[in-house]
């Protein structure tokens, strides 16, 4: 789309709604994992996705030629297909959006801004007891932002600024809602709404949606748990042309919470959390015919959510640089050591403190493997020791870890990568020695690969090139160089030129490992 375009066509609107559904579908498990309010039952992402799916299915079956009809179709079917608290709020946003566009065929900046404001207001009014720090807060912030725009604003700029606002407000939701702050997450419904705006922005810019290849979900089990005030989640319709949503809301207000009531054509749609489903049915039936959509036992849902398999990864690190690298690549806990390698007790205590079960333990050193196995035997948790013998093996295994896969699938993925990694190291000889191939003096640099000394010399760069020449094969593409505590950055800059001139066809990456014993650790794959 040109940066000068200021109007959304019916075709483009359909694309936006479809893209929003697709992105929610891709991100729903992540959104589910954030779901701690109003009940930590892990279904917000699923519910919002199902709500949008109802609209997309309707668009496929009932093509409309103008914006007014399209927006009304989306709103009606979102309400008819809405699931959960956030799904109902989202459906009401689209209801207000469509109401503002009735008899309007031109969706430009002005009408779009009015529709967003109306959508946020309708969503807010549909909730009996609105709570800040939720999807409503994000919607309201976006509605406030649209009032700042000029009618001459381009659509691309319009949506980029709205998305930026939504993201910033979403980050602040934990400060507004104690449950979120306690669990260390942002609001799940707000995250869903941010994804909808993100999808809209991609479409307006004429770009393909960027789906997350791997997105870590936080581990909420054992971190956040509160007894439920209400056991059942009810969703139902009341059929009756004269039924007024505000009267239904008032009549049901004392029977539960998370009450959202809205009207679509001749039916009122209700969502409520309650301990008295029969009484809710009785009161609702006084307004018209009661039609149950679903009745969920939230205590069961919550238990399943909090007890779902949450695989953790614990690893060891010989230096602070490696520790940072391991955390950045998905480790849940890292035991850092310098001279003394971790004990069984340290490994057990680290695994026990982690809010995960089962756990994959990466020793990253042959000497630590027996300790790790003993820790696994003593721990109350299920611990699988993946016998990584070097830090490059451990990092590569960690990069293969996928939180969406099962324990057995992850172990297989990680086991497959380990044999593909070659690990070497360079240190100084602490005494004179003789091997089959070398006479080594104290203070000589020695290059070790496969537990054998393959190079020795007075100069580090000389030994490094000899070691790499032994390790690197034509099929290898990447060389990783990790400098230890004794190698300063200036020294590393000199080494870079030598390495790159000797291996010009390889991708070479340099990192600070911070290891104590080895001047250089090398990974090749």
Tell the residue number behind the tokens 């003394």, with chain if given.
340
Using alpha carbons, list the distances in angstroms from residue 221 to 33, 226, 237, 297. Answer: 10, 11, 34, 19
Q: Which residues contact 24 (CB under 8 A, 6 or more apart)?
A: 31, 45, 48, 49, 52, 192, 195, 196, 199
DSSP H helices in 355-401: 369-378, 391-400
The β-bridge partners of 428 are 445
**Rg of the chain over CA atoms, in angstroms?**
29
- Report pLDDT for 222: 41
Give the Cα-Cα-Cα angle 343, 345, 351 (nearest 5 degrees): 110
Give the Cα-Cα-Cα angle 77, 81, 83 (nearest 5 degrees): 140
Each residue's pLDDT expressed in tens, for the chain with a length of 525 residues? 544 567 888 889 999 999 999 999 988 888 887 877 666 656 788 889 999 999 999 888 877 778 998 999 999 999 988 888 888 999 999 999 999 988 887 888 889 999 999 999 999 988 888 888 899 999 999 999 998 887 778 889 899 999 999 999 999 998 888 877 877 788 989 999 999 999 999 999 888 776 654 444 444 444 445 567 888 889 898 988 778 889 999 999 899 888 889 888 888 899 899 999 999 999 999 899 998 888 888 777 666 665 555 789 999 999 999 999 999 898 989 999 988 899 999 999 999 888 788 899 999 999 999 999 999 999 988 999 999 999 999 999 999 998 778 888 899 999 999 999 999 999 999 889 888 888 989 999 999 998 899 999 999 999 999 999 999 999 999 999 999 998 998 889 889 999 999 999 999 999 999 998 899 999 999
Sign of the torsion formed by the C-alpha atoms of 328, 333, 338 and 339:
negative
Q: Which two tokens stand for residue 333?
A: 């806990």
DSSP 229: S
Using alpha carbons, list the distances in angstroms from residue 241 to 21, 176, 266, 267, 462. Answer: 31, 39, 4, 7, 88
pLDDT 10s digits, 241-258:
778 889 999 999 899 888
Give the Cα separation of 200 and 54 in Å (integer). Answer: 18
Q: Which residues contact 306 (CB under 8 A, 6 or more apart)?
A: 40, 220, 221, 222, 225
Q: Which residues contact 422 (CB under 8 A, 6 or more apart)?
A: 392, 449, 471, 476, 522, 523, 524, 525
- State the distance between the two ends of the chain, measured CA to CA, in whole angstroms: 43
The answer, yes or no, to whether the previous bond of 38 is cis (omega within 30 of 0) is yes
Average pLDDT, the chain: 87
Q: Are strands 422-428 and 433-434 parallel, antiparallel or unpaired?
A: unpaired
Domains detected in the chain: 7-204 (1.25.40.340), 232-305 (3.30.70), 312-420 (3.40.50.510), 422-524 (3.30.1180.10)
Give the Cα separation of 328 and 277 in Å (integer). Answer: 47
Give the Cα separation of 208 and 205 in Å (integer). Answer: 9
Q: 73-77, long-range: CB within 8 Å, 24+ apart, which pairs?
A: 74/17, 74/98, 75/99, 75/264, 76/264, 76/265
| Global confidence as pTM | 0.58
Give the Cα separation of 343 and 351 in Å (integer). Answer: 13
Give the Cα-Cα-Cα angle 20, 25, 31 (nearest 5 degrees): 100
Q: Which two tokens stand for residue 480?
A: 């990783």
DSSP, collapsed to helix, strand or coil, labels residue 138 as helix
Give the Cα separation of 196 and 23 in Å (integer). Answer: 7
């Amino acid at each position: 789309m040109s940066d000068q375009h200021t109007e959304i066509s019916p075709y483009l609107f359909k694309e936006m709604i479809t893209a929003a559904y697709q992105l929610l579908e891709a991100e729903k498990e992540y959104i589910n994992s954030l779901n701690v309010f109003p009940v930590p039952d892990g279904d917000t992402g699923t519910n919002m996705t199902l709500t949008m799916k109802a609209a997309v299915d309707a668009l496929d079956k009932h093509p409309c030629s103008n914006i007014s009809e399209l927006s009304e179709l989306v709103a009606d079917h979102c309400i008819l297909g809405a699931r959960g608290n956030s799904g109902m709020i989202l459906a009401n946003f689209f209801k207000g959006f469509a109401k503002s566009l009735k008899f309007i065929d031109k969706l430009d900046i002005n009408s779009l801004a009015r529709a967003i404001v109306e959508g946020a207001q309708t969503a807010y009014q549909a909730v009996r007891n609105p709570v800040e720090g939720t999807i409503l807060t994000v919607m309201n912030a976006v509605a406030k932002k649209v009032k700042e725009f000029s009618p001459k604003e381009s659509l691309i700029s319009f949506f980029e600024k709205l998305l930026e606002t939504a993201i910033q407000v979403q980050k602040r939701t934990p400060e507004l809602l104690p449950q979120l702050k306690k669990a260390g997450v942002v609001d799940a419904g707000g995250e869903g709404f941010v994804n909808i705006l993100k999808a809209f922005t991609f479409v307006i810019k004429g770009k393909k949606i960027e789906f997350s290849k791997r997105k870590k979900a936080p581990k909420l089990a054992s971190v956040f748990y509160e007894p439920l005030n209400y056991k059942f989640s009810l969703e139902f319709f009341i059929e009756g042309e004269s039924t007024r949503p505000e009267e239904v809301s008032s009549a049901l207000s004392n029977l539960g919470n998370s009450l959202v009531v809205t009207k679509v054509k001749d039916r009122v749609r209700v969502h409520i959390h309650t301990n008295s489903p029969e009484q809710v049915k009785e009161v609702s039936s006084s307004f018209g015919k009661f039609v149950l959509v679903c009745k969920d036992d939230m205590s069961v849902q919550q238990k399943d959510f909090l007890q779902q398999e949450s695989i953790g990864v614990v690893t060891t690190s010989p230096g602070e640089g490696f520790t940072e690298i391991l955390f950045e690549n998905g480790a849940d806990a890292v035991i850092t050591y310098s001279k003394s390698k971790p004990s069984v007790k340290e490994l057990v205590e680290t695994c026990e403190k982690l809010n995960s079960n089962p756990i994959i333990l990466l020793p990253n050193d042959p000497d630590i493997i027996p300790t790790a196995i003993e820790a696994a035997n003593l721990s109350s948790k299920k611990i699988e020791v993946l016998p990584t013998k070097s830090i490059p093996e451990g990092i590569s295994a960690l990069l293969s870890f996928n939180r969406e896969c099962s324990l057995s699938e992850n172990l297989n993925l990680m086991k497959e990568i380990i044999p593909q990694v070659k690990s070497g190291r360079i240190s100084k000889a602490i005494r004179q020695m003789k091997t089959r191939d070398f006479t080594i003096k104290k203070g000589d640099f020695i290059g070790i690969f496969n537990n054998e000394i393959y190079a020795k010399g007075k100069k580090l760069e000389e030994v490094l090139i000899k070691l790499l020449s032994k390790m690197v094969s034509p099929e290898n593409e990447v060389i990783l160089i990790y400098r230890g505590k004794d190698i300063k950055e200036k020294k590393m800059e000199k080494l870079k030129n030598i390495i790159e001139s000797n291996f010009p066809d390889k991708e070479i990456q340099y990192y600070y490992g911070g290891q104590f014993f080895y001047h250089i650790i090398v990974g090749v794959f």
